[in-house]
Amino acid sequence: MSKEKVYNLEERTYQFARDCRYLAGLLPRTISNIEDLKQLIKSSGSVGANYIEANEKLGVKDLIMRLKIARKEVKEAGYWLRLLKNTNEKHAERIDRLIGEAAELRKIISAIVNRVEIREGRQSPMAN
């Protein structure tokens, strides 16, 4: 995991998915880890895929929908990471960094959604 912040969100979501996959290679192959890691791999990869789709939007509605899906997926990835942390204390520090990155990505994506919705007159500035 790199220590330097990346400001290109497409690259940052890629690095998040990559780091989740790296984590998967470190954890023991227990039944719960296998199942939780499957879900983590899917959701972490979906964040970046949906962000890329949002950038290639067909319109504002499509942009907002893809961003909201990316936000939902990063929130889900955080959930699976929390579960994995509880059963893999040896890797708690690495998992905590990924949980923190998931939270930051969610906030960034939420801010983009809010900005687009306000600009398009789809929500009031006080919503959320």
Contact present, 113 and 128 (Cβ < 8 Å): no
Lookup result for tokens 């809010």? 114
The CATH class of the 9-119 domain is mainly alpha
Question: By C-alpha distance, which of 67, 53, 63 is closest to 107?
Answer: 67
From the centroid of its chain, how far is CA 56? 19
Q: What is the pLDDT of residue 101?
A: 98
For the entire predicted model, the pTM comes to 0.88
Contact present, 43 and 77 (Cβ < 8 Å): yes
Domain boundaries, the chain: 9-119
Q: What is the pLDDT of residue 84?
A: 98
**Local mean pLDDT, 10-residue blocks, the chain (128 residues):** 70 98 98 98 98 91 96 98 97 98 98 93 58
Q: Please, which residues have CB within 8 angstroms of residue 15's CB and are 6 or more apart in sequence?
A: 1, 2, 6
In the chain the first and final C-alpha atoms are separated, in Å, by 32
Q: What is the pLDDT of residue 124?
A: 52
Q: What is the pLDDT of residue 121?
A: 81
